Structure 1
Amino acid sequence: MPDPRPAGDWRALVDDQAGARWDVLPVALVVLDGGGRIVQWAQAATDLLGYAADEVLGRDSTEFVLPQQRAAARSLREAVAAGRSATGSFPVRHKTGRTVQLEVWLCPVTGPGRAGRGMLCLAADAREAQRTRSGQALPEGWFTGSPVGLAFFDTELRFQQINPALEAMNGLPAAAHLGRRPVEVLPGVNSEQMEAALRRVLDTGEPVVNFRRIGRTPADPQRDRVWSCSYFRLDDPAGRPLGISGSIIDITTDERDDLSSTTARRRVTMLNEATLRVGSTLDVARTGQELADLAVPRLADIATVDVLRTVTDAAEPLTGLAADAALRRLGKAPVYGSRIADVLAPVGRILYFPAVAPYTQALVDRRPFLLPLVDARAVAPAARYTSTPEQIRRMGVHSLMMVPLIARGLVLGVATFLRADEPSSFDSADLALAGDLAAHAAICIDNARLYHREHDTALTLQRSMLPRRPQAPAGMEIAHCYRPASDINEIGGDWYDVTEITPERTALVIGDVMGHGITAAAVMGQMRTTVRALSHLDLPPDQLLDHLDQAMQELDDPLLATCLYAVCDTSTHRCRFARAGHPPPAVITPDGNARLLDLPPGAPLGIGGITYTTTEVALPPGSLLVLYTDGLIEARGHDLDERLTELTDLLGHTGQQPSGLCDTLVTHLAATPAEDDIAILIARVGTPTP
């Protein structure tokens, strides 16, 4: 008669082959930590070796192996620590002193509770195992008493036996498992993936270690749990597969710790990146785009950043919304390649929303807003104002966060984060991270706003105090220019002036207040007024600088400044100079030679107790004097003497017309973007001799 037992019945095949009776094999279970110390000792291990659990816990597992075999045992353990399963046979000392030859199988697993990563060791007395292989059944307490879930599957992946520990994990009796596949017994976990792993073990013979079973079982239907599963194939003496043995350990606590740790690491990493990538310049629009780029794709699939129009228009932001909101889109990610993002307004667009519209609620409430599920009901309130929410919902957006941008108590705007491709919804941890990122970006945006407001004020003040069109006295030709620092650098206190003392004598002055912003611009205005008044007294240059130095020390907010003062006589073509820490002037003679004038450098104004020196220089008629501030010649990473040489070389190869020379100097020498203000004053003294 044909065998009535189904094909692949592993126990039937074992019986036929006189193979191992795994349901009665006396196997002792021992769990080791990552360092090989014993952290769990089953009763079967006590029965096998005589030691109680409190006698072995915390001890190195190789202590019980006879000395001559300990090196081999450590090698086996190291192989398992590297992620491989391994088997071996070792003589182990029983508590009574006799020797027990053990057959062991070790595999890496995630330990129970807080035991951490470690190893699962199944050990059996080699002689008893041999007796069992000869068909002599032994007690099965090792199986029923194991705290680890144990299961055997046939070659059709049907449960053939499970122990009480696995019954408790699954919340179902053994009878509900036997003869059925995992997908039939446990639809609430990732059973299809589990079966794929089991088939891989059957096909390849390679164990699968630390497979994660995730989901809910009847034992705990209200929350997800995580188990670490390890599977290895059982073969008959001819090497044909009989089935699969599996061990299952609940690691939910460990997994939550890991998840918490992973979330914390992600949060720290992104916040660290935010400090480097968001707010890299004092540019409001760029900061908004940097925030969007940082959030996608690690936090969201789509992100937008909008600020109140009053922010970008340099007006004071509102502390709350009492009227309609006009927002400018500063950033959007991804910029290209996303059909959902394409539906959203582009960067630069002005968006208008009533104060009662749902979009502005994050601004009105000044609190982050989380919508875990974007469904038709959730987007219905926005339908009166815009069709976009419903449109992107239909395109796959299923979760949303809106986080206000608030800095120094001011509402600046809102950042919006959407998920479509990522299947999981935003949660409270995501909202906390988004809040931290938005808070950093808001400070950067507000810093840029405040900077630009002060920058514009200082620039307006600076330009209002410079001479609009210095009048060229008789016998002189004048050219001048002022170039402020770029937007990422503050306005300084560079200035120049031309004052006619007598019809033949003219004062040329150029200076630089050390410092930046409104204060430097204001001090510059005071200096220019003081110098103009002293110039009319017709003082020698050194005496004028002495008086100016004293005036600088009497300011309410003393600052240092450099200055070069010259009085040129167009009738004699002689000039007298005094220098207070300012770069030396250059002269271009009518024959095209250019050089720096060697003048005593002096010390900056405002120090006090300094004596300045007047130097008189005779110039050929038609010579060009070039006065400038240090912004023209100083460049990061370059030697000052080399830069001065570049200046004189450039002057020696330019034409003799003052007009256009200023632009030539700025074009060839100034850094881009400008790191400092630049002021240039050029004067032709007399008419060249034919």
Structure 2
Amino acid sequence: MNEHNPVHDLISSAAQAAGGWLGALPVALVATSADGTIVRWNQLAQELLGHAPQQMLGRNIADLLHPGADRSLGRSLWEAAAMGRGVMGTVTAWHRDGHPLEVEIWAAPVSDRGHGTATVLVFAADAHAARRIRGSSAVWDGLFARSPVGIAILDTQLRFLQVNAALEAMNGLPESAHVGRRLAQILPEVNAQEMEDAMRQVLETGHPVLDRRRVGRTPSEPDHDRVWSCSYVRVEDPARMPIGVIASLVDITEQQRDHVEAEAGRRRLAMLSEASMRVGSSLDLERTAQELADLAVPRLADAVTVDVLDALARGDDPGMGLTGGVALRRLGKAPLSGSEVTDILDPLGRTLIFPTVAPYTQALAARQPYLIARLGEEAAAPATRHASGAAHLVSVGVHSVIMAPLVARESVLGVATFYRTRPVGPFGAEDVTLAGELTARAALSIDNARLYHREHETAVILQRSMLPQHITPPPGIAVAHRYLPASDVNEVGGDWYDVLSLAGGKAGLLIGDVMGHGIAAAAVMGRLSASVRALARLDLSPVRLLHHLESTLADLAEPMLASFLYIVCDPATGHCTVTRAGHPPPALALPDGTVHLLDTPPGVPLGVGEVAFTPTEIEVPPGSLLVLYTDGLIEARGRDIDERLAELTRLLADPQRQLDHVCDSLITHLVPAAADDDIALLVARVGG
């Protein structure tokens, strides 16, 4: 039986320890007797120097030194170790392949007290690898200790093993509170479960997880939410088996807040830009209110109502006082259906009365948005007492409300109300600002519509008042006439017609169109109409009459142009003199049903000046129709003017009809929808 040797046991233990990885460095183990004979050569020694154990056992350790290098350092190191001192140093060894290899060694004697012999243990490693490992370790130690990035090492059970100072500061807990515990145990107010799921994924797959967001509150700042960007990397042993996770955390709360604010700013600008294009383009009060409501849902609110002052909706001046409450008419609502919120709100067209203390009235009086951040809470109860169905709103999920007044040009016009039901928190300051900007733009459009309708109505009244109220043609002439103002979305122009009794039983048939719109055009039309009546009594020729009208236009502060058609007709003989000044040609319908446009020189509009007008003489059979009209009757978007004139002549193919029926037929067939321009129409039957 072999005698038990404790030295061999020690060597075996050392070999087992050194045979693994010390950090990331493979370390070879060599053992020698007191005279330097190699008695132990492990596998890592073979991998380092290339010599197998059977080649080296029994040889002297000095044989390993490279012959071309200074061998004295190696001998002195071994001798010092053999004398009982531990030493370390760097020598140049001889690799089996014949090349020198710089080796870092650590040597120390091991005594066998029972036998009085000594053994020297020599640990050896590649010097370049050792220096690299020491450098990496120094870098890691510096990074771990001084990095502003939070770093943690966790085991496979996701328990903290070590954290650096930066992570201690982020979490508001010392390292001792981390070690041995999981994230969910120490930080319950962050999304710990989600983070641990990500770390388990890293342990299972080996693929890093980058920029996973941790959100919540820690003891370092318990009253505010923070956001961290977390990355996880798996740590492996030499066999590539997972032994833990390294986590790194960066606090990105400020960057996240800046990003959210920037994104909100972009959405706000996009919404305001869209509002400038979509809201108010029609100059229609009801449509503008509905456009505002449609635009805000769902990007700002889940439901919106738009109410204007009842006086404004009736076409009256909105007034300035709100004493005794306010009457509002609902003109906008979104969504119109399919929403529990809008289903319980008052319908479109309903007039709502609110007392002075109601939030609606307060918002109008203050001319500032009124925010009820949390509807139904005790603090908001007084404010919601008079809100529209406050209890019902809470029952269908409304939790926050903004009432933004519609104010334009110092006038209060109404209020827009924004309701939120989504679980995204109450309206905030940015939402109030956006609601105020949207309502400001809408209010300006609503006020523009109000002012336009007022001017449009004034122009229509002026226009109608200046048209002849009672036309009494001379004997032998029968007339019918129509005037159709432009639709509400188009301004009233300066169209007019008249029939004058001239000397010798003749009749003057005239029609004109001042080029322009609104009150100014209507006023110039009235002036020209009065001038024609005065000049006709002087029995002037048509050409002289037109030149006098040009002088009338020349006296205006703002130069204007007008087209004009003047026909002097003798019903007894059927002789007519036709003079045009840039006006569409009249139509002549003969008794046999033949219809054509009179081919006369078109002339130029009045106001151009210094252009001669050329009259045309024609003979009209008894019973013929002369049809005078303005361009609003024959011009239509997307239609060829020649096609429209052909349709006009076709509609006149039955001249025996009553004149009123002729007028109505022309209007009905040529202008089936709202007129884009004013229309004046004069139909005269000559003789017969």
| Mapped pair 1:401 → 2:402 | yes
**Alpha-carbon distance, 1:614 to partner:** 1.8
Note closer, same or farther for the CA distance 1:569–1:197 as it changes in structure 2 (3 Å cut): farther
Instruction: Tell me the equivalent position of 1:161.
Output: 162
1:379-390 alignment runs, 5 A limit: 379-381=380-382, 385=386, 388-390=389-391
**Alpha-carbon distance, 1:334 to partner:** 1.6
1:543-562 alignment runs, 5 A limit: 543-562=544-563
Instruction: Tell me the equivalent position of 2:305.
Output: 304
Counterpart contact for 2:591–2:656, Cα < 8 Å = no
1:439-588 alignment runs, 5 A limit: 439-501=440-502, 504-588=505-589
Matches of 2:604 and 2:348, distance apart in 1: 51
Instruction: Tell me the equivalent position of 1:332.
Output: 333
> Helix, strand or coil: the match of 1:403?
strand
Instruction: Tell me the equivalent position of 1:676.
Output: 677
Note closer, same or farther for the CA distance 1:236–1:634 as it changes in structure 2 (3 Å cut): farther
Counterpart contact for 2:359–2:387, Cα < 8 Å = no
Instruction: Tell me the equivalent position of 1:414.
Output: 415
Matches of 2:286 and 2:306, distance apart in 1: 9
Deviations along 1:120-174, one digit per CA (max 9) or x if unpaired, are xxxxx99869998xxx999744433332222344454443433222111111122
Instruction: Tell me the equivalent position of 1:37.
Output: none
Counterpart contact for 1:492–1:515, Cα < 8 Å = yes
Output the amino acid matched with 2:319. L
Output the amino acid matched with 2:363. A
Output the amino acid matched with 2:342. A
Instruction: Tell me the equivalent position of 1:80.
Output: none
Note closer, same or farther for the CA distance 1:130–1:408 as it changes in structure 2 (3 Å cut): same
**Alpha-carbon distance, 1:246 to partner:** 2.4
Counterpart contact for 1:24–1:143, Cα < 8 Å = no
Instruction: Tell me the equivalent position of 1:344.
Output: 345
> Helix, strand or coil: the match of 2:390?
helix
Counterpart contact for 2:590–2:655, Cα < 8 Å = no
> Helix, strand or coil: the match of 2:478?
strand
> Helix, strand or coil: the match of 1:563?
strand
Output the amino acid matched with 1:580. A
Matches of 1:326 and 1:249, distance apart in 2: 56
Report the TM-score, using the length of structure 1 for normalisation: 0.76
Counterpart contact for 2:359–2:384, Cα < 8 Å = no
Instruction: Tell me the equivalent position of 1:119.
Output: none
Matches of 2:243 and 2:234, distance apart in 1: 8
Between 151-160 and 214-223, report the one with greater CA deviation: 151-160
Between 449-458 and 668-677, report the one with greater CA deviation: 668-677
Matches of 1:244 and 1:287, distance apart in 2: 60
> Helix, strand or coil: the match of 1:660?
helix
Between 405-414 and 416-425, report the one with greater CA deviation: 416-425
Deviations along 1:437-470, one digit per CA (max 9) or x if unpaired, are 1111010000000000111111122122223453
Instruction: Tell me the equivalent position of 1:103.
Output: none
> Helix, strand or coil: the match of 1:463?
helix
Matches of 2:22 and 2:506, distance apart in 1: 118
1:234-313 alignment runs, 5 A limit: 234=235, 242-313=243-314
Instruction: Tell me the equivalent position of 1:4.
Output: none
**Alpha-carbon distance, 1:590 to partner:** 2.6
Counterpart contact for 1:368–1:403, Cα < 8 Å = yes
Matches of 2:241 and 2:658, distance apart in 1: 99
Note closer, same or farther for the CA distance 1:438–1:566 as it changes in structure 2 (3 Å cut): same
Output the amino acid matched with 1:563. F
1:71-82 alignment runs, 5 A limit: none
Counterpart contact for 1:474–1:503, Cα < 8 Å = no
> Helix, strand or coil: the match of 1:228?
strand
Counterpart contact for 1:376–1:390, Cα < 8 Å = no
Matches of 2:473 and 2:21, distance apart in 1: 112
Deviations along 1:643-674, one digit per CA (max 9) or x if unpaired, are 43443455458985533333333333338442
Instruction: Tell me the equivalent position of 1:213.
Output: 214
Between 358-367 and 244-253, report the one with greater CA deviation: 244-253
Between 501-510 and 578-587, report the one with greater CA deviation: 501-510
1:649-668 alignment runs, 5 A limit: 649-652=650-653, 657-668=658-669
Deviations along 1:88-112, one digit per CA (max 9) or x if unpaired, are xxxxxxxxxxxxxxxxxxxxxxxxx
Matches of 1:655 and 1:164, distance apart in 2: 106
Counterpart contact for 1:399–1:420, Cα < 8 Å = yes
Counterpart contact for 1:581–1:602, Cα < 8 Å = yes
Between 289-298 and 538-547, report the one with greater CA deviation: 538-547
Identity %: 56
Output the amino acid matched with 1:669. L
Output the amino acid matched with 2:214. R
Matches of 2:618 and 2:423, distance apart in 1: 77
**Alpha-carbon distance, 1:221 to partner:** 2.3
Instruction: Tell me the equivalent position of 1:436.
Output: 437
Matches of 2:283 and 2:351, distance apart in 1: 21
Output the amino acid matched with 2:215. I
> Helix, strand or coil: the match of 1:214?
strand
Unaligned runs of 5+ residues in structure 1 are: 1-14, 26-124
Instruction: Tell me the equivalent position of 1:65.
Output: none
Deviations along 1:327-351, one digit per CA (max 9) or x if unpaired, are 1112111211111221111221111
Counterpart contact for 1:510–1:565, Cα < 8 Å = yes
> Helix, strand or coil: the match of 2:521?
helix
Deviations along 1:185-206, one digit per CA (max 9) or x if unpaired, are 2233333443444455456554
> Helix, strand or coil: the match of 2:211?
strand
Counterpart contact for 2:507–2:570, Cα < 8 Å = yes
Matches of 2:519 and 2:130, distance apart in 1: 90
Note closer, same or farther for the CA distance 1:613–1:229 as it changes in structure 2 (3 Å cut): same
Counterpart contact for 1:474–1:504, Cα < 8 Å = yes
Matches of 1:607 and 1:671, distance apart in 2: 34
Note closer, same or farther for the CA distance 1:597–1:239 as it changes in structure 2 (3 Å cut): farther
> Helix, strand or coil: the match of 1:659?
helix
Note closer, same or farther for the CA distance 1:386–1:412 as it changes in structure 2 (3 Å cut): closer
> Helix, strand or coil: the match of 1:337?
coil
**Alpha-carbon distance, 1:22 to partner:** 9.1
Unaligned runs of 5+ residues in structure 2 are: 1-15, 27-125
Between 151-160 and 276-285, report the one with greater CA deviation: 151-160
Between 608-617 and 439-448, report the one with greater CA deviation: 608-617
Deviations along 1:552-574, one digit per CA (max 9) or x if unpaired, are 22245543211111112211112
Output the amino acid matched with 2:287. R
Instruction: Tell me the equivalent position of 2:50.
Output: none
Counterpart contact for 1:553–1:607, Cα < 8 Å = no
> Helix, strand or coil: the match of 1:317?
coil
Output the amino acid matched with 2:617. E
Instruction: Tell me the equivalent position of 2:33.
Output: none
Instruction: Tell me the equivalent position of 1:224.
Output: 225
1:119-158 alignment runs, 5 A limit: 140-158=141-159
Matches of 2:522 and 2:280, distance apart in 1: 26
| CA RMSD, Structure 1 to Structure 2 (Å) | 3.3
Q: Which has the higher contact order (CA 8 A, sep 6+)?
A: 1
Output the amino acid matched with 1:389. A
Output the amino acid matched with 2:668. T
Bigger Cα Rg: 2
Deviations along 1:506-558, one digit per CA (max 9) or x if unpaired, are 21111111111112112212222222222233322222212222122224554
**Alpha-carbon distance, 1:475 to partner:** 2.8
Note closer, same or farther for the CA distance 1:206–1:533 as it changes in structure 2 (3 Å cut): farther
Output the amino acid matched with 2:590. T
Output the amino acid matched with 1:568. C
Output the amino acid matched with 2:535. L
Instruction: Tell me the equivalent position of 1:357.
Output: 358
Output the amino acid matched with 2:529. R
Matches of 1:198 and 1:667, distance apart in 2: 78
> Helix, strand or coil: the match of 2:363?
helix
